[in-house]
């Protein structure tokens, strides 16, 4: 065999081997499917490959939420966001010139009224009668009275009582006696605050045994 024939033979064999290699490395006609001889592990592996990776649901609180907030207390909040607590009330007393003004806010249940059927503002005015009286060596007369009722989104009802007295010598006023506890046993405690004309302040928790708000 001549050298020229030898070179042609080598080239033909090389081309044939390269074609076979390309055919072996090319894409398969269809994806691999395990046979019965491969066992259950192979089938499980193929099935897992089709499942997308997932993580646990993010249960962190949304922005602005308190992670320690009590859901029961939140459900009891009224229309202004204050806790709706039966038996409790909030009282503020202010003095301006010759006038002494009381504002009492409390749930209707404290007055023995059904929250599901709140009275009209006019009907509710009777609950302001004798609710409190000024203390001190002077005379005061009731100058104005108003009562408003409301129902919040949670179905809770409350009442706000406002009473204004005009006193002859208001500097002699020593405090305010709250009669709500004796008139309406549904009251257990009242958070009270007094604001004087010169910035004086006094705060007390009032109960049936301690029903006087001192201004000093």
pLDDT tens for 38-63 read 555 555 554 545 545 554 444 554 44
Task: Specify the pLDDT at position 75.
Answer: 39
Phi, psi of 34 (to 5 degrees): -65, 145
Domain count, the chain: 2
pLDDT digits (tens, 9 = 90+) for 61-92: 444 444 554 444 333 444 344 556 899 999 99
Distance (Å, whole) CA 4 – CA 129: 130
- Residue range(s) defining the domain that contains residue 109: 85-214
pTM of the model: 0.61
Higher pLDDT, 148 or 75: 148
Q: Is 39 left (phi over 0), alpha (psi -120 to 50) or beta?
A: left
- 105 and 208 in a single domain? The answer is yes
Mean pLDDT: which of 18-22, 61-65, 118-122 is highest? 118-122
Pair (210, 122) in one structural domain: yes
| 127 and 195 together in one domain | yes
Tokens of 174: 């020593």
Same domain as 117, residue 34 = no
- Whether residue 173 contacts residue 192, with contact meaning beta carbons closer than 8 Å, is answered with no
Which has the higher per-residue pLDDT, 116 or 194?
194
How far is 115 from 123, CA to CA, in rounded Å?
14
The answer to whether residue 74 is domain-embedded is no
Same domain, 206 and 123: yes
The more confidently predicted of residues 120 and 78 is 120
User: What pLDDT does 10 receive?
Assistant: 46
- What is the distance between the alpha carbons of residues 36 and 40, in angstroms, rounded to a whole number? 8
Residues 23 and 123 in one domain: no
Would 66 be classed as within a structural domain?
Answer: no
Judge if 112 and 156 occupy the same domain.
Answer: yes
**Same domain flag for 126 and 205:** yes
Residue 58 lies in a domain: no
- Judge if 114 and 163 occupy the same domain: yes
Q: What is the pLDDT of residue 152?
A: 80
- What pLDDT shows up at residue 53? 52
Domain assignment present for 167: yes
114 with 168, same domain?
yes
In the predicted structure, residue 32 carries a pLDDT above the cut 60: no
Q: For residues 55 and 51, what is the distance between their CA atoms, to the nearest angstrom?
A: 12
- Cβ-based neighbour number of residue 154 at 10 Å: 12
Query: In terms of domains, do 91 and 41 share one?
Result: no
List the structure tokens of 109. Answer: 């249940």
Out of 28-37, 54-63, 178-187, give the one with best mean pLDDT.
178-187
Q: What is the pLDDT of residue 80?
A: 41
Q: What is the model's pLDDT at position 155?
A: 76
Inside any domain, residue 68: no
Residue 174 inside a domain? The answer is: yes
């Amino acid at each position: 065999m001549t050298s020229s024939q030898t070179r042609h033979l080598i080239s033909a064999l090389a081309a044939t081997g390269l074609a076979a290699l390309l055919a072996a490395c090319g894409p398969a006609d269809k994806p691999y499917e395990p046979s019965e001889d491969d066992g259950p592990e192979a089938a499980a592996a193929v099935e897992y490959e089709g499942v997308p990776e997932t993580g646990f649901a993010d249960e962190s609180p949304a922005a602005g939420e308190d992670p320690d907030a009590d859901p029961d207390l939140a459900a009891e909040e009224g229309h202004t966001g204050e806790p709706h607590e039966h038996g409790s009330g909030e009282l503020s007393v202010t003095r301006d010139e010759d006038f002494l003004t009381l504002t009492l806010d409390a749930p209707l249940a404290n007055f023995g009224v059904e929250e599901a059927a709140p009275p009209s503002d006019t009907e509710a005015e009777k609950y302001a009668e004798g609710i409190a009286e000024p203390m001190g060596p002077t005379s005061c007369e009731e100058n104005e009275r108003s009562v408003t009722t409301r129902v919040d989104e949670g179905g809770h009802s409350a009442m706000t009582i406002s009473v204004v007295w005009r006193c002859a010598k208001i500097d002699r006023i020593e405090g305010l006696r709250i009669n709500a506890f004796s008139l309406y046993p549904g009251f257990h405690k009242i958070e009270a605050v007094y604001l004087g004309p010169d910035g004086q302040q006094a705060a007390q928790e009032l109960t049936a045994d301690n029903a006087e708000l001192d201004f000093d």
